[in-house]
Copies of this chain bind each other. A is one copy, B any other.
Amino acid sequence: MTIHDFRRGLEWALQDVFSTMFNQTAEVSASDDVSDVSGISAIVGFGGKVSGFLALHMSAEAACNIAQGLLGMEFECVDDTVCDAIGELVNMLAGGLKKNLSREEELFKLSIPSITNGQEYRTHAPSDAVKLTVGVTAGPTRFRARLVVEFK
């Protein structure tokens, strides 16, 4: 199991979730690694044979678009409902990743999502973990997805 397997699993989960929930395709592209962020970040941790976390980073506007797609209501700012919706999105993606990667054995368990939002903040992952960030475009919405994995 390598970070490339995780990337393939994440691409599969993105296609699955965006086609099912939003009737959209999700295009994945290369991205710089994420550190300085503004907008909203939603993270689901995982632990087991492999441990790490999946983080989504997006603008307030992208978060409102996604919440609207999920809930069928319009949002003008990142309120608790939008935070819950982006938490649910990262949860579905992490669930899809787990399903794709766990063949004969369950590879890891998922935590519940934690969400951060603000005008300017930095994110940091343990220095010794493997990191991979991709850009995602789904319909009019763009965001970044970051995988941080510790292979034991």
| A positions within 8 Å CB-CB of B | 41, 43-48, 51-53, 55, 80, 83-84, 87, 108-127, 129, 148, 150
Would you list 26 pairs from A and B whose C-beta atoms are within 8 A, ordered by A residue? A43-B114, A44-B45, A45-B46, A45-B112, A45-B114, A46-B47, A47-B108, A48-B109, A51-B110, A52-B112, A53-B111, A80-B127, A84-B127, A111-B111, A112-B148, A113-B126, A114-B123, A115-B124, A115-B125, A116-B116, A116-B121, A116-B122, A117-B121, A118-B120, A118-B121, A121-B121
User: Chain A contact residues: over half helix, strand or loop, or mixed?
Assistant: strand
Q: Is A47 in contact with B110, judged by CB distance below 8 angstroms? A: yes
Decide: A123 near B115, CB < 8 A? Known: A43-B45, A45-B53.
Answer: yes
A118, B111: Cα distance in complex, Å: 24
Q: Is B114 in contact with A148, judged by CB distance below 8 angstroms? A: yes
Using CB atoms, name the residue of chain B closest to A48.
B109
A125, B43: Cα distance in complex, Å: 10
Q: Is B45 in contact with A124, judged by CB distance below 8 angstroms? A: no
In-complex Cβ contact of A122 among B113, B117, B125 (8 A): B117
Inter-chain contacts of A114 with B (CB < 8 A) = 43, 45, 53, 55, 114, 123-125, 148
A115, B121: Cα distance in complex, Å: 10
Q: Is B122 in contact with A52, judged by CB distance below 8 angstroms? A: no
